[in-house]
Structure 1
Amino acid sequence: MKKLFVLLTSLILLAGCAKQKVDSYDYTELKNSKPKSILVVMPTNSSVDAKADTSVLARTSYPLGELGYYVFPVALVDEIFKQNGLTDGNAIRSAKTNKIREIFGADAIFYVNIEEYGTSYKLIDSVTNVSLEGKLVDLKTGKTLWEGAGSFAQGSSNSNDGLLVMLVKAAVSQIMDTSKDKGYQIAAPATSNLVHLGKNGGLLIGPKHPDYNKTQVSK
């Protein structure tokens, strides 16, 4: 019995350690490249909401600028791509990075894919969720400098109501949130989580950040 107790205790401790251990992101390529300027381009859209790409595009520049990178004006960049026949995220991803660099002179390009976007009805709750994947690519070499994922979800709160009232409120909330495009609001914290947290480490600070070269993150 004592041996069994010791064995179970050891297994629990090992499981706890395994759960806590997360490999940190390898920033070697990013540190070698040292990008200063970034192109934010129309995302690819794997969600069912047709307006998701433009909504997320409008929200992506701010967190990158916050980190200290120069972000090219999104509307201007999108218009130039359209003039060159690249009208959506998939077309832009198919373009050669060195050609994009020739046109814009940027150091890197930020690709985003939208996994989920919008409001859905979940039994007694209406949930708005935005889930993203992002990748920063060196326009000179075509190498991936950093990649990560981020999401944010928000539900309606009906905990003090009866079941029938909660069901009605959830249905109404879904209709209202969809018509108002609540996903656009949720896209802001989702893009922030993508850039600042990533999967196992957010994007490092850029040269315009006040702490750059002072406390350059040693991740």
Structure 2
Amino acid sequence: MMRRILTYIASVGVVLLFAGCAVQNKQVDYSAFKASRPRSIVVLPPLNESPDVKATYAMLSQATVPLAESGYYVLPVAVVEETFRQNGLTVPADIHSVPVAKLRQIFGADAALYVTVTEYGSKYQIISSVTRVAANAKLVDLKTGDVLWSGTAVSATDSSSGGGGLIGMLINAAVTQVMNHTFDASYSVAGTASYRLLSAGQPAGILYGPRSPKYQSD
């Protein structure tokens, strides 16, 4: 009986995991984005709604690459962070409240990216250890304050495997959970979430920027 219960829990967990990673297509109005035609982006330190303090910098450090590969000039993270620090701003919530006109005056960028990490970390689930990162973002025109684009993305990995029987799966999940916390497995998962969220060409994603050969100026 116990074996059947554990097997059922495992199957339900896998279903829920993949359901959580399903892509939800939505209709996006790109008219403001196309009218603005941003060339440069300043990425603000992400807000962190997860219990893990590493979430902000894990996502921030991996947000610039997909944007740059999509055709935008992205202001260097270290320069942006130091500029905020010199102005007494070190908390993401305070930075997100800075008026857009002030951000444009300081950095000279066309748009700012606001990111919120809603999930970050690993959880032990009976016979598996699930590492999950979820985030949402919006791109804001620094000249007008208009939201040009918004989106969400989720990435997750599951340690469960089909070998070793139930005891082996339990041991594997426990060991994986310890390793995930020790070496922050969420960091690489956050990288996948960043690419899904911020790479042009994704369903309902941002548009290609002017540095990309796929850029459309019309």
Q: TM-score scaled by structure 2?
A: 0.85
Corresponding residue of 2:183: 180
Corresponding residue of 1:118: 121
Q: 2:48 aligns with which of 37, 45, 48?
A: 45
Q: Secondary structure at the match of 1:153?
A: strand
Moved over 4 A (4+): 197-200
1:30-74 deviation line (CA, Å, top 9, x unaligned): 011100000011100000101110111000001101110000001
Corresponding residue of 1:193: 196
CA RMSD of aligned residues (A): 1.9
Are the equivalent residues in 2 in contact too, given 1:136–1:146 (CA < 8 A)?
Answer: yes
Are the equivalent residues in 2 in contact too, given 1:147–1:198 (CA < 8 A)?
Answer: no
Q: Which deviates the most, 160-169 or 99-108?
A: 160-169
Corresponding residue of 1:133: 136
Corresponding residue of 2:145: 142
**Given the alignment of the two structures, is residue 205 of structure 1 paired with residue 208 of structure 2, yes or no?**
yes
Are the equivalent residues in 1 in contact too, given 2:201–2:208 (CA < 8 A)?
Answer: no
Tell me, in whole angstroms, the C-alpha distance in 2 between the residues paired with 1:205 and 1:144. 17
Distance 1:49 1:145, change over 3 A: same
Tell me the amino acid that sits aligned with residue 149 of structure 1: T
- 1:213 deviation in Å? 3.2
Distance 1:32 1:190, change over 3 A: same
Tell me, in whole angstroms, the C-alpha distance in 2 between the residues paired with 1:23 and 1:119. 28
Corresponding residue of 1:29: 32
Corresponding residue of 2:14: none
Tell me, in whole angstroms, the C-alpha distance in 1 between the residues paired with 2:42 and 2:104. 10
Are the equivalent residues in 1 in contact too, given 2:69–2:199 (CA < 8 A)?
Answer: no
- 1:199 deviation in Å? 9.2
- 1:75 deviation in Å? 1.1
Corresponding residue of 2:96: 93
Distance 1:128 1:198, change over 3 A: farther
Q: Secondary structure at the match of 1:118?
A: strand
Tell me the amino acid that sits aligned with residue 36 of structure 2: S
Corresponding residue of 1:8: none
Tell me the amino acid that sits aligned with residue 87 of structure 1: T
Corresponding residue of 1:171: 174
Distance 1:23 1:121, change over 3 A: closer
Are the equivalent residues in 2 in contact too, given 1:43–1:88 (CA < 8 A)?
Answer: no
Q: How many residues align?
A: 195
Are the equivalent residues in 1 in contact too, given 2:46–2:114 (CA < 8 A)?
Answer: yes
Identity among equivalent positions (%) equals 46
- 1:23 deviation in Å? 4.6
Tell me the amino acid that sits aligned with residue 40 of structure 2: S
- 1:197 deviation in Å? 7.3
Distance 1:197 1:47, change over 3 A: farther
Higher radius of gyration, 1 or 2: 1
Tell me, in whole angstroms, the C-alpha distance in 2 between the residues paired with 1:133 and 1:23. 14
Tell me, in whole angstroms, the C-alpha distance in 1 between the residues paired with 2:44 and 2:25. 30
